Amino acid sequence: MRYIALAILLILVGCKEDSKPVADQSSPIETPVPGDSTRIEKTPALTAELQSKETIDEQLGLLYEKYEHLIDRSDSVAGKDENGDGIRDDIEAFLNALEVKELVRNALKQDARQAQKSLYYDFSQDTHANRKKAFEISEEYNKVLACKKFVGIPVDDRIDTSETIESLTYNTKKRTRAYLEYNHLLDGSTSIMLEAKEEYCE
């Protein structure tokens, strides 16, 4: 299952345990922490390095290697999203720095936005309302896959970039726990893959 990789990531992260409740049900979890926006300076040298990579995921790996210190590891479950577009600022900075076509960048941002949504609600209780909301969020991932295919991202890169975006999104123990609670509510659910159509791109 998709959350196995996140469990491994959780072990590697080694963040402090915090037993405080995430938030009330059906309400946003945290107000983003105020502060300056994360920025990555696109120098000619960085641009050339990114362009030398064969895959988008390799570009993300390069950015992580160089700018790992910019990753949001705050106590906030949702993290900072100063422009309110549903993508954590540090992840958006990584995606903005990629050397890709704008249609591809937008599809990756859609992926990041979908991954972030599970952090906006408290899924710690197994209720009908929570299961319904979790399923609604999970269904949006099918649109992400369809859009990434539509814009021409190769299948391996579609998978790898989704895994990297998830790893960046759920990069603290709090965030990973929130994701696992959300994923647990999806046990037994099924979904139908969508065709690669422009209509599924945001």
pLDDT at 37: 56
pLDDT confidence of residue 65? 97
Summarize pLDDT for 147-168 with one digit per residue, the tens: 999 999 999 999 999 999 999 9
pLDDT number for residue 189? 79
Contacts of 87 (CB under 8 A, 6+ apart): 81, 95, 109, 112, 113, 116
Residue with tokens 């609670």: 181
What's the N-to-C CA distance of the chain in angstroms? 26
List per-block mean pLDDT (blocks of 10 residues) for the chain, which spans 202 residues.
Answer: 45 40 38 55 96 98 96 95 96 98 98 97 95 94 97 97 97 96 90 92 94
How high is the pLDDT of residue 143? 96
- Which two three-digit tokens encode residue 146? 């369809």
∠ CA 198-200-202, nearest 5°, is 95
Per-residue model confidence as pLDDT tens digits over 90-107: 999 999 999 999 999 999
Closest CA to 75 of 166, 174, 167: 174
Distance of CA 152 to the CA centre of its chain: 20
Q: How far apart (Å, rounded) are the C-alpha atoms in residues 202 and 107?
A: 8
Position 190 scores a pLDDT of 81
